[in-house]
Amino acid sequence: MHVGLGTFQPVRVEKVEDHKLHSEWYEIPAEAAQTINAAKQDKRRVIAVGTTTVRTLEDAARRIGATRVEAGSGEAGVFIYPEYQFRIVDALVTNFHLPASTLLMLVCALGGKDFVMSAYRHAVDAEYRFYSYGDCMFME
């Protein structure tokens, strides 16, 4: 996925549903689509590395209305926040993201808001590094 500036734009609206997230171009190679679909069919977990991977896979599945992906390219417009129903991704490796960001909302959607915010309190207290080159976590 080509990450755009919209990914890092803070949410400044009262209702999260009113936030406009910019779409971002992505491509899923045929081999990756086959591997992901085989994992889902075999009831194995799909672990995404990075929030951009999550948006790519979830947008691709949403486009075809399925729990699988197809090889190809597109524009990811999916905005993932708590109560989102994941079709593909079961777990995530990601860094600690900024407060009030769409990326933090995505992580909360996967791990649960209370659990994620507890992890963030620990990270702040323990002086973990945030942003793109900071510490990371495994979230499921």
pLDDT tens by residue, 16-56: 776 677 788 999 999 999 999 999 999 999 999 999 999 99
Instruction: Confirm if 36 and 86 have CB atoms less than 8 A apart.
Output: no
Residues near 43 by Cβ (< 8 Å), separated by ≥ 6? Answer: none
Burial class (CB in 10 A: 0-12, 13-18, 19+), 57: buried
pLDDT tens by residue, 112-122: 999 999 998 99
Q: Looking at the predicted structure, is the pLDDT value of residue 14 above 70?
A: yes
Domain 5-139 has CATH 3.40.720.10: no
Q: pTM for this one?
A: 0.86
